[in-house]
Structure 1
Amino acid sequence: MKQLGMVLVAVALAAAAWWWLTVEMPRREQAHKAAAEAAAIQARRADTLYRWRDDAGNLHVTDQPPKGRRYERIPRTPRDGIAVDGGKS
């Protein structure tokens, strides 16, 4: 009787391990990938400015896109290798 109980416990543990490895782990990996993608999108949005012109032709650069108007997305941080020097003339 004791051996039958040990076999049943071993089978139950094997079934739990199978479920964890085939169902739960892939689900958690997919959720982790989705969260990482959402964080990457949010980081790109945080690094974006919007350049657009109003009806009078004035140039605006804002952190929110204008509604109902064409705009261009520009990064806040310069690309690697670009020197930014305000003293050049």
Structure 2
Amino acid sequence: MRAWLAIVAGVALGAGVAWWLARESPDAGARKQARADQAAAAQARDARPSLYRWRDDAGVLQITEQPPKDRRFERIDREAPASIRVSGDVATDAD
């Protein structure tokens, strides 16, 4: 009977140690969540339609739908953010 209890205790102890070693630390979970958030933000940014502003060898400003391969460029969103509103209804009289 004692051998049976020793086997059960050993299996329980082994399962407890395996569980303890397999769990993630809170820091690892937070780092993983931060990386996932950054990847989701990058995917959302890449999915938006955009234009690319850059200068050619002559210094002429170019705005294209495809980014240049061999030079720096600035990414411009095609759609303005929802918070920006332009209204031409207001007229000022300079009398």
Assess same fold via TM > 0.5.
yes
Coarse TM-score class (shorter-chain normalised): 0.5 to 0.7
Distance 1:32 1:58, change over 3 A: closer
Contact 2:51 2:77 in 1 (8 A): yes
RMSD: 3.3
Q: Would you say 1:61 and 2:60 are equivalent positions?
A: no
Q: Which shows bigger deviation, 67-76 or 2-11?
A: 67-76
Q: Are the structure 2 counterparts of residues 7 and 59 from structure 1 closer, same or farther at C-alpha, using a change threshold of 3 Å?
A: same
How many residues in Structure 1 have an aligned counterpart in Structure 2? 82
Closer/same/farther in 2, CA of residues 52 and 20 from structure 1, 3 Å limit: same
**For the pair shown, which has the larger CA radius of gyration, 1 or 2?**
2
Question: Letter of the aligned partner of 1:60 in structure 2?
Answer: I
TM-score calculated relative to the size of structure 1 = 0.59
Counterpart residue type for residue 13 of structure 2: V
Q: What TM-score, normalized to structure 2?
A: 0.57
2-side partners of 1:75 and 1:67: how far apart? Answer: 19
Give the structure 2 partner of residue 6 of structure 1.
8
Once the two structures are superposed, residues 12-50 of structure 1 have per-residue CA deviations (whole angstroms, 9 ceiling, x without a partner) of 111111111257xx4xx4555434422322221232431
Q: Which runs of 5+ in 1 are unaligned?
A: none
CA contact under 8 A between 2:54 and 2:63: conserved in structure 1?
A: yes
* Matched-pair identity in %: 37
Structure-1 residue corresponding to 2:39: 38
Q: Deviations over 1:40-75 (max 9, x none)?
A: 22221232431235559464231x312334532212
In structure 1, distance between residues paired with 2:81 and 2:24: 43
